Amino acid sequence: MPGGLWVAGFLLLPSRSEILMDNTPFNILYLTTELSPYARTGGLAQVAAALPRALAALGDDVRIILPRYGLIDPEQHRLRRVLESFPVPFDHETETAGLWQAQDSPLPVYFVEHHRFFGSRKGIYSFPDDGERFIFFSRAALEAVRRLDWQPHAIHCNEWQTALVPNWMRTLYASDPFFAQTAVLYNIHNLSYQGIFGQRVLEIAGIAEHGFIAHPEVSPSLNQVVDMMARGIIFADIIVTVSPTYAREILTPEYGEGLDPILRDRQDRLFGILNGIDTESFDPARDPHLAATYDRHNLQGRDRCRLALLQEAGLPDLGDAPIICMTSRLSDQKGYDILETVLEPMLRHLETQWVIMGTGEDRYHNFLENLQARFPQKLRVLFTYSETLARRLFAGADIFLMPSRHEPCGLDQLLAMRYGAIPVVHATGGLADTVQDHRPPVTGTGFSFQDYDGMALFAAMVRACEVYRHPTVWADIRQEAMGRDHSWASSAREYRKLYRRARSLKLTGRPQ
């Protein structure tokens, strides 16, 4: 077994030189509540499907565990039981869980089974007992790997749902030989969802006697509750968020969502690594969902995709007007509050056609429905979300608009660029890191605006539409955008280094 030797039930510490050897394969346990294609609501599902695969390609043994939700079809994914029911300490008692494995995945993917918490429910989140459900899931995952006799060098936790794992490692499991050498990397995908509960969850989690955590600079309202995300940040060996800019932004009160004082305390352990995309699945040269395939050296097929999109959306072909698409949730965070102030004038004054896909707040459904009725030749709204349709939007549209107020990373702008739709974005988080503004002589890969307001968005759109009228300049921007490498390979190497850094910090107190 890499990393140590079991003697009479105890693991002997590896020598320091072994820790330092960057090439020693690691066992990495990846805990997630979403994973494509089994269960998804957002970007986490795509990341969870791609990063572990990229890590495995670099030589690590990565295993994924998620809950066995009722919506996962056991036949489709050929689930096989790998552990009979095993005990999980929970709320002063013991619950039992089962463990299943998918047989349709190249990497080991396991599912924690619990009928009441997961099997019997239709959805993934938003149940009144989500705190209990995900505490149970996290604890069961740890108990399961012990029974698989597979000792992780590092556990990769995602979001608040698994944020008690680092807390447990410093308390309940601190002197457990099985986990004594296991480091924890805590991955923040979106600080807006923190998992805030009453103190009772500490009892359920078995850590009530380890007390309550208050921070002198955190607001009283957050200090009086249990904030799961905060605990992940406080106890993890390494904290990673999904872009370098977001990693800096969350240290400020403006973006810190109340946790910036805690993040500032842990700054030396906080890193930002950009997400990648699955460039094999999302490849316009091979995508079976498109009307025609194309690549950056031969864009003919793209014209067919453009016409097919107009047809699918039921819009007339206006020839010269750029097609603008959007695919995000209809919410304030995604920029709908500023879009609301300028979409009507844009429809009136800019020679454009729009295809907007998404679901979300009622207010924006009504707003868009109303505009669609008034501008039937220019705007089509699809109140749905479909990945297949998203592919056709990216392939057929000229411009992709993503004006998010804040965006930890964002994946759609990366997909849009790969398919040749030029992004117009608010320069925040991962959008700032991945979209380079067109500022002659810099060709850039898109257009961005700094101030979060409707007029700044309008001005950026006007700029994009102006440049669109110069086909050679537009073609250059498209070449740049389509040519950028957003595959996971380099980001996976960064994560790989951080697992090792985390473990070294845990074992020696030093980064390496």
Q: Contact residues for ligand GLC (CB under 6 A)?
A: 42-44, 47, 189-190, 242, 275, 407-411, 430
For the chain, the residue count is: 512
Between 105 and 413, CB nearer to ligand GLC: 413
Between 258 and 408, CB nearer to ligand GLC: 408
CB of 437 closer than 8 Å to CB of 427: yes
Please state the closest distance from residue 189 (CB atom) to ligand GLC, in A: 3
Between 171 and 281, CB nearer to ligand GLC: 281
Please state the closest distance from residue 427 (CB atom) to ligand GLC, in A: 14
Nearest one of 210, 165, 205, 206 to 185, comparing CA atoms: 165
Spell out the residues 6+ positions from residue 303 whose beta carbon is closer than 8 angstroms to its own: none
Please state the closest distance from residue 42 (CB atom) to ligand GLC, in A: 4
Please state the closest distance from residue 182 (CB atom) to ligand GLC, in A: 23
CB of 139 closer than 8 Å to CB of 88: yes
Please state the closest distance from residue 47 (CB atom) to ligand GLC, in A: 5
CB of 72 closer than 8 Å to CB of 84: no
Between 42 and 316, CB nearer to ligand GLC: 42
Please state the closest distance from residue 430 (CB atom) to ligand GLC, in A: 6
Give the up-direction half-sphere exposure of residue 188: CA atoms within 13 A in the CB hemisphere.
Answer: 36
CB of 42 closer than 8 Å to CB of 124: no
Between 48 and 309, CB nearer to ligand GLC: 48
Give the DSSP per-residue string, 53-113.
Answer: HHHHHTT-EEEEEEE--TTS-TTTTTEEEEEEEEEEEETTEEEEEEEEEESS-SS-EEEEE
Between 215 and 405, CB nearer to ligand GLC: 405
Q: How far is it, in rounded angstroms, from Cα 315 to Cα 162? A: 45
CB of 227 closer than 8 Å to CB of 194: yes
Between 56 and 277, CB nearer to ligand GLC: 277
CB of 247 closer than 8 Å to CB of 272: yes
Please state the closest distance from residue 263 (CB atom) to ligand GLC, in A: 17
Please state the closest distance from residue 397 (CB atom) to ligand GLC, in A: 20
Q: Which residue is nearest to ligand GLC (CB)?
A: 43
Between 331 and 479, CB nearer to ligand GLC: 331
Q: Is 30 left (phi over 0), alpha (psi -120 to 50) or beta?
A: beta
